[in-house]
Structure 1
Amino acid sequence: MSSISGIAILGSGIFAKEAHLPALVALGSNAPALLAVYSRSEKSSHEFADAAAAAGISPTPAIYHDGDPSMNLDALLARSDISAVIVVLPITLQPSIIRKAFAAGKHVLSEKPVAPDVAGGISLINEYNEKYKKNLVWRVAENFEAEPGFRAAGELIAAGKIGKVNFFKAIVVNHIDVENKYYKTPWRTIPDYQGGFLLDGGVHTVAALRIMLPKPLTHLSGVASLNHEYLKPHDTIHAVVKAGSDFHGIVELSFGAPTKTTPTADQFVIIGSEGWLTVNSANVEGTGQVLRILVKRAVKVEGKPTEEVEEIIEKPKIGVEAEFGSFFDAIRGKETLDIGDPLTALGDVAFIQAGLNSGGASIDLAKLVSDGK
């Protein structure tokens, strides 16, 4: 595990074009050559290759698709000059493709979630650990986990910047209509997996929380609902969660707001014994999208009234680039960020699954991850 001859991207959808290609370009010489792209359709493979060329990737990646047996996925995986693949395919399809890549001797970076459900994730992880882990790197691409902003907030909390964490809240409310570019992808229009957008997007929120909070969440009690029929099976989860006896919080996830203007901004708020912090997305002129951390602390000086001290920290949103770089470093045997562990990513799926199925009852998250039910 010391070199990477070349890579392929399996999947040619929106996120592959709009996030993966720019990340590879940003990494420059630190990224291996993108030699091939696979999609089920020839048209989408061509579109991705054209987008790669337009982004400055040279030579243009070779095109593979299911319409030509001589240029299908098996043909791509048989190439000896491709040592790693990035899997960006529909949620229910990914586990079978990951298994094919392992069997072909390829390192794998697979987009979140790790699997459609906890039981499926356990099966895939066990197979990897037993058959392939010794020789192959597998990471789950969860860009929120890799974002410098969330990681910086976690470091501030770990350093005691706001004292002992007492409680928190995470609010994500989105409006998804039938014209949304992500909704219009066929596999999302008729999802054959639990939670719909809640699984696909909700794991991001859970990953951000686990990066920031000082201890893992242990129990969840929640309710799920469907507010727009076209977003079935569910579009909203409200949950009360706790980390043992240490702290507790509220997580609100919804893709079912009725208007594009939502009643609340997406935000994370973490309250400690000596202060609090928030993390929000923002656009900064000349910088682009950032994660903005606002910290307020109560400072006590003997003989004087308590003062509030404010600090603002901004970090660029480069999570995809960071997760790619870490994956490539892992293959090369270099030290990497502590991200992408499949078992950790399984915990994110467990949170969403618990929120969908709780019905108000308390669910032990660690037990769900260990036995799948």
Structure 2
Amino acid sequence: MSRAANTGVAILGSGIFAKEAHLPALKALGSLAPNLKAVYSRSEKSARELADEAVELLHYWPDIYHDGDPAVNLDALLARPDVSIVIVVLPITLQPSIVLKALAAGKHVISEKPVAPDVASGLKLIATYEAGYKPKGLVWRVAENWEVEPGYTTAAQAIRAGRIGKVTLFSLRNVGSIDKESKWYKTPWRTVPDYQGGFLLDGGVHSAAALRVILPSPLAYLSGFASLNVEWLAPHDTLISIIKCADGSHGIFELSFAAPTQSRSSIGDGIVITGTDGYLTVNQTKVKDPVTGDEKSVFRVIIKSIIRNADGKEGPEREEVIDEAVRGVEVELASFFAAVVEGKDDGLGSPRGALRDVAMIEASLNSGGQLIDLEKLVTPA
């Protein structure tokens, strides 16, 4: 795919992730990405800051739109015929209305996770898209970068190829430490969240997506508990759930942003999937680039397989280590642009898939130890 002459992209939202993830991904994609024609933020200052970053990385100046002047507000941006794609990187509670506004203006949309603040509003949003905009050929995807991270998809492929046999049990642990000095906490809309779970929803859907992608069977039932341990991370900062998949395998989902120190964050984190013929682990780590000497982040997949001889007896254990660079945002944008420009639908970024991630967090927050049917939760009444 190369840039289509009449295909331009705009970024709606000028926060940390727009600057540190989406702009670098557009740069990495080069000619595979449409030109960034415009940026929008509620304030002129923040929009201009994003535009400055774009100039530095992409070497061209996007037009600036903001709410301070009706002549250059969001409606004016969405009226531009040379902008056919928008990337929505806005606060969680704002995104659904902006997604619909962009679709109504005839734009293709990729919106940052989560798909919606809760399952009920997610179901309504998806129903509106599928009934009114999908039939018109408009593409809407949810940008869940962990869904497409090569480390996780490599692990999924190994399991489906039978490398560890039939999955029997699994665990995911993601424990972090968010203090008041964190750049993520200082984001104003996160400081006083008006959506369920706080950081558990905002960051937790990543972990839910990783399990959804790696495990060969859908998550079916869940029972869990949630708690608040650090007052500034209200309403909740920790959850632990027991999960059963449709194929009978089961596991533990442990998520917290309330570790007392950063060093606690590094203990035991990662994913472990155990099967009848081995197991695999997935952890994020840093390695030295052999060319530049710089450190880069990778997902390290370690596959431990039992080798059986001709009569089925167990032989030595075989180990394979695979490092995959962290580049989920680049992959998801490349896939989305290919869907828009070339009509290639690889199934990634499905709003219904992203809804399952919200359902997993919502069920964990509300369970109180009661069993919740996850399939029923995401099925319209």
- Per the shorter chain, which TM-score range? over 0.9
Aligned counterpart, 1:297: 305
8 Å Cα contact 1:219/1:243 also seen in 2: yes
C-alpha distance in 2, partners of 1:54/1:138?
29
2:262 match: secondary structure: coil
Distance 1:155 1:305 in 2: 23
The equivalent of 1:14 in structure 2 is: 16
Give ranges in structure 1 of 5+ residues lacking alignment.
none
| Residue pair 2:217, 2:247 contacting (<8 A) in 1 also | no
Structure 2 residue runs of 5 or longer lacking an equivalent are 291-295
Contact 1:25 1:57 in 2 (8 A): no
Say which is worse superposed, 74-83 or 291-300, in terms of deviation: 291-300
Superposed displacement of residue 299, structure 1: 1.3
2:338 to 318, 324, 329: 329
**Structure 1 equivalent of residue 279 of structure 2:** 276
What aligned pairs does 1:10-89 form with structure 2 within 5 A after superposition?
A: 10-58=12-60, 60-89=61-90
Count how many residue pairs are aligned between Structure 1 and Structure 2. 370
**Deviations along 1:3-35, whole A, 9 cap, x unmatched?**
552010000000000000000000000100000
Q: Spell out the pairing of 1:123-202 with structure 2 (5 A cutoff).
A: 123-134=124-135, 135-202=137-204
Structure 1 length normalisation: TM-score?
Answer: 0.97
Q: TM-score, normalised by structure 2?
A: 0.95
CA contact (8 A) 1:121 1:346 kept: yes
1:321-344 deviation per Cα after TM superposition (whole angstroms, max 9, x unaligned) = 000000000012343433100011
| Aligned counterparts of 2:89 and 2:317: Cα–Cα separation in 1 | 46
- CA deviation vs aligned residue, 1:236-285 (integer Å, no higher than 9, x gap): 11000011352000000000111111162420000000000000011110
Q: 1:109-143 CA deviation, whole Å, 9 max, x = no partner?
A: 00000000000000000000111002200000000
CA distance in structure 2 between the partners assigned to 1:239 and 1:15 by the alignment: 28
Instruction: State the partner residue of 2:251.
Output: 249
> Which amino acid counterpart does residue 350 of structure 1 have in structure 2?
A
Deviation for aligned residue 1:302 = 5.5
* Aligned mates of 2:162, 2:59 — CA distance in 1: 44
Q: Tell me how large the CA RMSD over aligned residues is.
A: 1.4
State the distance in 2 between where 1:334 and 1:244 align: 32
Do the aligned partners of 1:19 and 1:320 also contact (CA within 8 Å) in 2? yes
CA distance in 1, matches of 2:92, 2:272: 30
- Equivalent pair of 2:306/2:314 in contact (CA under 8 Å): no
CA distance in structure 2 between the aligned counterparts of 1:282 and 1:336, rounded to whole angstroms: 31
Q: Could you tell me which of 199, 217, 220 is aligned with 1:218? A: 220
CA displacement at 1:351 relative to structure 2: 0.3
Alignment of 1:305-344 (within 5 A): 306-344=315-353
SS at match of 1:350: helix
